[in-house]
């Protein structure tokens, strides 16, 4: 039975890897084409290509559940088409044992995927975004154009045009407010370098605002005290979906302590934590299709069905995410509900086919 387990697992694993390569490859082409429309400044074709390559692990992680679903349908479907599954079941291999054989390689992919999401993707995303922002923003780092990154610290609101992973900021603007929410100071700097316990600003414009007058001072260098560090900036410069699980949890707690809305970060946190469960639920659903309604259909029909199911699952998850914010139910439910529905449907189909 161990050899049969390995054979089934190998079929599903190879099919899943092929699916990942195809999906990520197509996505890489579309990403590169999209980046070519954003060329400006020192951001040229080579930089766009590098940006696309740095984001490939993130895209592979995002597509992993759908790839496992389609890989399960393709791998088990090929075995069903050649009547190998029928022979296995006639030899005494139960449906539960076959599904367990499928889940083992998927579990390995999940471990690798979670490790990549925790350690590799946040770093690569920071590098990609910072390099792009710096290259695109050369010559206009003191302007208010562009997206930039925002952060709040007490009564200070900060905006950075670009953030480098090594602790260098570009295009800094700091807005100072009184406890009554009145703006009294705006400080702009071209660049900031972290010096162990403080930031050293360069080419600074410091504007003091009062009811009577506004004073503007200029400094070539200025010491800026802030609780920000290069490590804490890692959560400022990337989207919640690209942060590690540990950073998501820590930053959500920080926002709650500051009486700020942390729902977006909690949604991303629970989505990452429950991704292995969602993948297993989709694989269970895919296996149920093979033993049930998709047993006799063509390989193309199975792949189309897998894409359709994966898209329905993804859209349901994306609909529940904002719904949890609007309706006020726990963010974890946005991830648990699709998993529960997939598992229930999968078990129901398996029970009918058994």
Q: Provide the 10 A C-beta neighbour count for residue 327.
A: 9
Report residue 249: phi and psi, to 5°: -65, -45
Contact residues for 283 (Cβ-Cβ < 8 A; gap 6+): 68, 69, 72, 99, 102, 103, 106
Nearest to 201 by CA among 219, 175, 186: 219
What is residue 242's DSSP assignment? Answer: G
Tell me: the pLDDT tens digits for 187-225?
Answer: 999 999 998 888 999 999 999 998 778 889 999 999 998
Calpha distance 248→251 (Å, rounded): 5
Confidence of residue 354 (pLDDT cuts 50, 70, 90): low
Listed range (133-147, 273-287, 320-334) with the worst mean pLDDT? 133-147
Average pLDDT score over residue span 288-303:
74
Please indicate, yes or no, whether the overall pTM of this predicted structure exceeds 0.75: yes
Average per-residue pLDDT for the chain = 86
For residues 266-284, give the mean pLDDT. Answer: 93
Q: What is the pLDDT of residue 95?
A: 86
pLDDT tens digits, one per residue of 31-54 = 999 998 888 778 889 999 999 999
Q: Two tokens at 180?
A: 């009554």
Torsion sign over Cα 15, 17, 23, 25: negative
What dihedral angle (degrees, nearest 10) is formed by the CA atoms of 50, 54, 58, 63? 50
Among candidate residues 150, 152, 175, the one with its CA nearest the CA of residue 160: 150
User: Any idea what DSSP says for residue 43?
Assistant: B
Which residue matches tokens 């980046």?
Answer: 35
| C-beta of residue 289 within 8 angstroms of C-beta of residue 351 | no
Beta bridge partners of 207: 186, 216
Instruction: Report the largest interatomic distance among the alpha carbons of the chain, rounded to a whole angstrom.
Output: 91
Residue 104, C-beta contacts closer than 8 angstroms, at least 6 positions apart? 5, 9
Sequential DSSP letters for 73-133: HHHHHHHHHTTHHHHHHHTT--HHHHHHHHHHHHHHHHHHHHHIIIIIHHHHHHHHHHHHH
> Any idea what DSSP says for residue 40?
B
Q: Average the pLDDT over 87-116 and give the result.
A: 90
* pLDDT at 341 > cutoff 80: yes
């Amino acid at each position: 039975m161990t050899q049969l387990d390995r054979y089934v697992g190998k079929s599903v694993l190879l099919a899943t890897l092929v699916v990942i390569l195809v999906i990520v490859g197509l996505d890489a082409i579309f990403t590169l084409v999209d980046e070519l429309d954003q060329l400006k400044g020192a951001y040229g074709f080579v930089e766009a290509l590098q940006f696309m390559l740095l984001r490939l692990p993130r895209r592979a992680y995002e597509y992993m559940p759908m790839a496992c679903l389609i890989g399960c349908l393709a791998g088990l479907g090929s075995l069903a088409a050649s009547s190998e599954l029928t022979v296995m079941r006639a030899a005494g291999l139960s449906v539960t044992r076959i599904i367990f054989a499928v889940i083992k390689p998927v579990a390995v992919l999940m471990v690798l995927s979670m490790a990549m999401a925790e350690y590799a993707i946040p770093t690569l995303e920071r590098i990609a975004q910072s390099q792009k922002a710096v290259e695109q923003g050369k010559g206009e780092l003191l302007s208010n154009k562009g997206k930039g990154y925002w952060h709040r610290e007490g009564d200070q609101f900060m905006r950075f045009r670009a953030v480098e992973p090594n602790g260098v900021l570009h295009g800094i603007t700091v807005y100072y407010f009184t406890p009554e929410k009145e703006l009294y100071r705006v400080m702009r700097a071209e660049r900031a370098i972290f010096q162990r316990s403080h930031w050293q600003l360069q080419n600074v414009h410091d504007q003091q605002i009062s009811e009577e007058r506004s004073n503007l001072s200029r400094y070539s260098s200025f010491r800026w005290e802030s609780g920000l560090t290069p490590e804490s900036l890692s959560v400022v410069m990337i989207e919640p979906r690209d942060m590690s699980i540990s950073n998501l949890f820590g930053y959500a707690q920080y926002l709650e302590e500051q009486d700020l809305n942390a729902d977006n970060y909690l949604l991303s946190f629970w989505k990452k934590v429950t991704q292995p469960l969602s993948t297993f639920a989709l694989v269970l659903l895919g296996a149920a299709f093979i033993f049930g309604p998709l047993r006799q259909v063509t390989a193309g029909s199975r792949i189309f069905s897998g894409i359709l199911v994966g898209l329905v699952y993804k859209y349901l998850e994306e609909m529940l995410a904002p719904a949890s914010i609007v309706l006020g139910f726990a963010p974890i439910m946005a991830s648990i509900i699709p998993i529960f529905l997939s598992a229930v449907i999968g078990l129901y189909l398996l029970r009918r086919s058994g």
